[in-house]
Amino acid sequence: MKKIGCLLLTLWITCLHGQTVLKPNAVFDGETLHKNWVVIVTDSIITYAGTPSKKMDQYTVINLEGMTLMPGLIEGHSHLLLHPYNETNWNDQVLKESHTERAIRGVVHAENSLLAGITTMRDLGSEGAGYSDVYLKKMIDQGIIPGPRLLVAGPAIVATGAYGPKGFHEGVTVPLGAETASGNTEVIKAVRRQIGNGADFIKIYADYRWRSGEPSQATFLQEELDVMIAAAKTAGRYAVAHAGTPEGMKRAILAGVETIEHGDGGTLETFKFMKEKGVTFYPTLAAGDAISRYKGWNGANPAPDRIRNKKASFALALQSGVTIGFGGDVGVYTHGENYRELELMVAYGMTPIRTLKAATSINAAVFHLEKLGNIKKGYWADLIAVPGDPTKDIKTMRNVSFVMKNGVIYKQ
C-alpha cells in the first residue's frame, strides 16, 4: 500500500514524521473498548497500542480529550459515481450525465467520505459510468486527490435484458447501468474483461426485474453463475451478488459468492445457508430508508411495506447468526452520511459494538484487507476519533472529528 504524499488540495492535511502519541479518552480496537490506552504512530504504521509509559514523554502528543479513537471505517457498499436520487433519478444519471461529470462528482464524494471517517471503501459498480471507478482509485492511490482506499467492481455484470434504463422501443439503443452477458462463453469473457480493465472483484446481478413494476426474478442460470465465479477465482478475485429473492440468493451462494447485497426477501433458511457457506450479508438498510423518504414517508408509523419487510428480513438475518457487514448503498443518499446505515443497524436490532465491529474488523476480514480494521502493532495507521462513546451511543458517529489515513491527518 502506497503512502499518499503531503498535498494542499481542497483541504489541509498534516503528514506526521517520527513517532506521535494519540491520547484519547478510550480506544475501540476493532473488537473491544479500552480505557487508559494510547496509540503510537510511526510514519504510516501503528507501532504501539496500550497503556501509556514514561518512555513516551519525548514523543509528539496529540490529545483527543473526551474522544474515542478507533480504526477508520470500512464502507462495504457504495457507489461513488451516483448522487442522491432526490436530486436526479437513477435513469437520468445514467442517460444524461456524462462520464466526465460523474467522475468530477466522484472526486467530491471521495473527499466527503474520507472526512466522514471512511478510510476504506468498496465500490459496488459504476452504474453506467464505465471504468470511472477504476480511475478514481488510481488518482487516490497516486495522491492526486484525497479519498478512501478503494476496492472497485467496474461496470458489474447483468443478464441480457434484465437491467435498465428501460422503457424504449427496440430501435433505440441506450447506455445501460451494467455490462450485459448471457451464456457461458459470454459471461466468462465479461468477467475476464472487467478484471483486465482493473476490477478488484466481480459484482453479479443474480436477480432483477425483467420489466418495470414486476417483482424480481432470478436471472442467470446456475451454470452461468458457476462459470463466472470460477473465472473470477482463477484470476485471484472473488465475486459478490446483488440478490434479493430466495432463489437468486440460493443460486449465488451455491456458485460461491463471498457476499450478498440487499437480501430483502431472504428467509431464515436462506440466511442459515449463507452462514453455513461463510457468505457475508450486506443489508443496505439506509438505501431503502432513503428511497422511502424520497417518496414522502417521514419516518413515523405506519411504515411503508418496503421498511416493514426490510426490518423483518434483517431480524431473520440476526436470528440466523450469519455474519453481517456494514454497507449502506451510499450514493442513493448523500456521500459522507454513512452513519445512517450504522444507526439503522442499531435501530433494527444490532448492538452498537457489534455494528462498529461490522464497520471495522469484520469488513477488513471479509474484504481480505490485511493490517486494516484493527488497532494493533504493525497495522496501517487508518484511525478516526469521535466525541463520547460510540459503543453506547452510535449517533456519536455523526461527528467524526479526527481522521488519519496511512499516517496522514486529514481532519483534526
Helix (H) or strand (E) holding 262: strand 259-262
Q: Return the pLDDT at 16.
A: 66
Q: Please give the Cα distance from 34 to 301 (Å, whole number).
A: 39
Give the rounded distance of the alpha carbon of 386 from its chain centre.
20
Please compute the mean of the pLDDT values over residues 96-108 and round it to a whole number. 98
Q: Please report where in the chains the cell 442467470 appears, as a residue.
A: 220
pLDDT digits (tens, 9 = 90+) for 121-133: 999 999 999 999 9
Asked if the model's pLDDT at residue 7 lies above 60, the reply is: no
Q: List pLDDT tens digits, range 40-89.
A: 999 999 999 999 987 777 889 999 999 999 999 999 999 999 999 999 99
pLDDT, position 52: 92
pLDDT class of 2 with cuts at 50, 70, 90: very low
- Say what the pLDDT of residue 213 is: 85
Percentage above 90 pLDDT, the chain: 92
Q: Are 65 and 56 in contact (CB under 8 A)?
A: no
* pLDDT given for residue 212 in this prediction: 84
- Among 8-22, 88-102, 118-132, 232-246, the minimum mean pLDDT is found in 8-22
Residue 3 clears pLDDT 50, i.e. is over it: no
At residue 10, the pLDDT reads 47
Predicted confidence (pLDDT) per residue in 288-322, tens digit? 999 999 999 999 999 999 999 999 999 999 999 99
What phi and psi, each to the nearest 5 degrees, are found at residue 57? -60, -30
Average pLDDT of the chain, as a whole number: 95
Decide if 51 contacts 346 (C-beta within 8 A): no
Q: What is the pLDDT of residue 58?
A: 80
Q: What is the pTM (predicted TM-score) of this model?
A: 0.95
Gap between the Cα atoms of 144 and 102, Å rounded: 17
Distance CA 125, CA 378 (A): 32
Arithmetic mean of pLDDT, 17-32: 94
Q: Where in the chain is the domain with CATH 3.20.20.140?
A: 73-366
Domain 73-366: assigned CATH number? 3.20.20.140
Provide the pLDDT for residue 53: 83
Query: Residues 261-267: what's their mean pLDDT?
Result: 98
Asked whether the CA dihedral 231, 233, 234, 236 is positive or negative, the reply is positive
The DSSP 8-state label assigned to residue 381 in this structure reads: -
pLDDT tens string 357-367: 999 999 999 99
- pLDDT reported for residue 55: 77
Please compute the mean of the pLDDT values over residues 168-194 and round it to a whole number: 96
Strand 19-28, strand 33-35: pairing: antiparallel
For residue 342, give every residue at least 6 positions away whose Cβ sits within 8 Å of its Cβ, in sequence order, or none.
326, 355, 356, 359, 394, 397
pLDDT of residue 256 exceeding 50: yes
Q: According to CATH, where is 2.30.40.10 located in the chain? A: 14-71+373-411
Residues 72/118, Cβ–Cβ less than 8 Å: yes
What pLDDT, on the 0 to 100 scale, is given for residue 6? Answer: 46
What's the confidence (pLDDT) of residue 9? 44
Residue 270 has pLDDT above 80, yes or no: yes
The predicted structure's pLDDT at residue 5: 43
| Span 247-267, average pLDDT | 98
Fold observed for domain 14-71+373-411: Urease, subunit C; domain 1 (2.30.40)
Which of 299, 280, 403, 281 is closest to 343 using CA atoms?
Answer: 299
Record the cell numbers describing residue 326, joined without a space: 456494514
